[in-house]
Structure 1
Amino acid sequence: MNDFLHKLPTFVGNHLALCALFVIILLALLVMEFSRLLRKYKELTPGGLTLLINRENPLLVDLSARADFEKMHVPGARHVLPSQFDPEHKDLARARDLPVVVMDKDGRGSDKAAQRLVKAGFTKVYTLGGGVLAWQQAQLPLAKGSK
């Protein structure tokens, strides 16, 4: 260990660009993790969503494209187009104190919707990490069709 510490300044001097890149990547990872910990919604795994469904009967909102929703969706999920998603809508506003889980096909677009729900005063907001594809990969039951 002592030998490593003596050679470190020489290594850094010889590989300045490499060390700077390492520090930048490390800082980016730390910022991402810190912001993930501070956000006011949580990401669920398919198993975590199953537990939430069994314990608290959450409102499931699927923001997938209509064709993707009709091919497969989590049973009980309600389809809403992302362009029509409005946290202030009267039906959604009634669920302000219920757990709300936002999902889409692959889990990439649900973060913005979750942030909008939190901003609108929803207290229990979740996203499904990996979306409906993660649900399918976990070999959990899927529904088909528009309902």
Structure 2
Amino acid sequence: MDFVNELLPFVKNHPILSLGWLAIFVAIIHLTIKSKFSKVTQITNGIAVNLMNKEEAVIVDIRNADNFKRGHITGSHNILPVDIKNNSIKQIEKFKTNPIIVTCDNGMSAVASGEILAKLGFEKVYALKDGIAGWNGENLPLVKSK
């Protein structure tokens, strides 16, 4: 009861701060629930390498062409999120039963594109946790193109 008695005056004296805390709380709950129902699993670099080597996983790199050329995982398909959204994914259509690993710069946007791929019928969709930055941070090989 003491907590409630102290909370009400705090909220009255600090309404913006209180709203900020409430917004953060709601966002955390929303993201937690969303991740529980997601069809896309975030995976580590080690799991990604295992899927690539043992299950012929296909890498979909959603970064722009310049970043892709600076360094990408061997055999990656460079497909922009807008192309995934518009179902312009002819180069990977034949891999619907293979594991698909979506990667981006830092792991923040791969899940959204992965969700679309799952809706388009790809059976096993993963997002690379920490993206290419994490891959590079572990000194895993990147291919550069001209």
TM-score (norm 1): 0.81
Question: Who is 2:56 aligned against?
Answer: 57
Shift of 1:80: 2.6
Question: Who is 1:7 aligned against?
Answer: 2
- Tell me the alpha carbon deviations over residues 71-97 of structure 1, each in whole angstroms, 9 at most, x when there is no partner: 111122122344444656444221111
Shift of 1:41: 1.0
21 and 65 in structure 1: CA distance in 2 versus 1, 3 angstrom threshold: closer
Unaligned runs of 5+ in 2: none
Secondary structure at the aligned position of 1:43 is classed as strand
28 and 108 in structure 1: CA distance in 2 versus 1, 3 angstrom threshold: closer
Identity of aligned residues (%): 24
- C-alpha RMSD over aligned residues: 2.2
Larger radius of gyration: 1
- Tell me the alpha carbon deviations over residues 44-102 of structure 1, each in whole angstroms, 9 at most, x when there is no partner: 12222122223212011112221211111112212234444465644422111111111
Whole-angstrom distance in 1 between the partners of 2:68 and 2:57: 18
Question: Who is 1:133 aligned against?
Answer: 133
Is it true that 1:92 corresponds to 2:115 in the alignment? Answer: no
Whole-angstrom distance in 1 between the partners of 2:4 and 2:80: 55
Letter in 2 for 1:72: G
Whole-angstrom distance in 2 between the partners of 1:10 and 1:83: 51
Please list, as runs of the form range in 1=range in 2, the aligned pairs for 1:37-76 lying within 5 A after superposition.
Answer: 37-76=36-75
Unaligned runs of 5+ in 1: 1-5
Whole-angstrom distance in 2 between the partners of 1:125 and 1:50: 15
21 and 106 in structure 1: CA distance in 2 versus 1, 3 angstrom threshold: closer
Whole-angstrom distance in 1 between the partners of 2:80 and 2:90: 16
Question: Who is 1:144 aligned against?
Answer: 144
Matched positions, count: 141
- Tell me the alpha carbon deviations over residues 102-129 of structure 1, each in whole angstroms, 9 at most, x when there is no partner: 1122333323321221111111001112
87 and 20 in structure 1: CA distance in 2 versus 1, 3 angstrom threshold: closer
Question: Who is 1:3 aligned against?
Answer: none
